[in-house]
């Protein structure tokens, strides 16, 4: 009788543990399905070192290229990477040597950027118009 009760207790605990694991695992799958999203990935345009709209200049050497996801006063997110702009950051376009308005830079725009020694953006180039 004592042996039977001892086996029943062990079996009961094993059963409870298995049910708990199954419930947690099942809930995790449901929660993961609710959060799952497939987002599109925009290709980065191919950059070539050729003559551009700047007189007698080649393509600038960028520290990085990507799409703007968020742009604020002195903060910018490009390809999921948060960065800060340096004071006096230059906003440029490949169409000509003149600086362009910051308002031309918007979410989804493809840009190239140059960084200073503090990893702040000193020049932001608009690569698509």
Is the predicted pLDDT of residue 95 greater than 60, yes or no?
yes
pLDDT at site 42: 73
pLDDT at site 98: 83
> In sequence order, which residues have a C-beta less than 8 Å from that of residue 47 and are 6 or more positions away?
59, 62, 65, 112, 127
Same domain as 114, residue 71: yes
Is residue 31 in a domain? Answer: yes
Contact status, residue 36 vs residue 81, Cβ threshold 8 Å: no
Bigger pLDDT: 21 or 125? 125
Q: Place 57 in a pLDDT band, splitting at 50, 70 and 90.
A: low
Same domain as 69, residue 34: no
Contact status, residue 116 vs residue 81, Cβ threshold 8 Å: no
Same domain as 32, residue 68: no
Based on the structure, what is the number of domains in the chain? 2
Bigger pLDDT: 16 or 35? 16
Is residue 121 in a domain? Answer: yes
Same domain as 74, residue 29: no
Give me the domain span that covers residue 101: 64-126
Is residue 47 in a domain? Answer: no
Same domain as 79, residue 117: yes
Bigger pLDDT: 25 or 100? 100
């Amino acid at each position: 009788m004592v042996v039977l009760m001892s086996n029943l207790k062990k079996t009961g605990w094993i059963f409870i543990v298995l049910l708990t694991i199954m419930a947690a695992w099942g809930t995790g799958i449901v929660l993961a399905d609710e959060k799952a999203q497939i987002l599109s990935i925009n290709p980065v345009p191919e950059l070539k070192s050729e003559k551009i709209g700047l007189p007698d200049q080649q393509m600038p050497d960028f520290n990085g290229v990507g799409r703007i996801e968020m742009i604020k006063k002195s903060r910018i997110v490009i390809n999921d990477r948060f960065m800060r702009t340096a004071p006096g950051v230059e906003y440029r376009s490949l169409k000509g040597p003149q600086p362009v308005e910051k308002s031309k830079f918007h979410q989804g725009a493809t840009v190239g950027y140059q960084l200073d020694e503090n990893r702040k953006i000193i020049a932001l180039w608009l690569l698509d118009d």
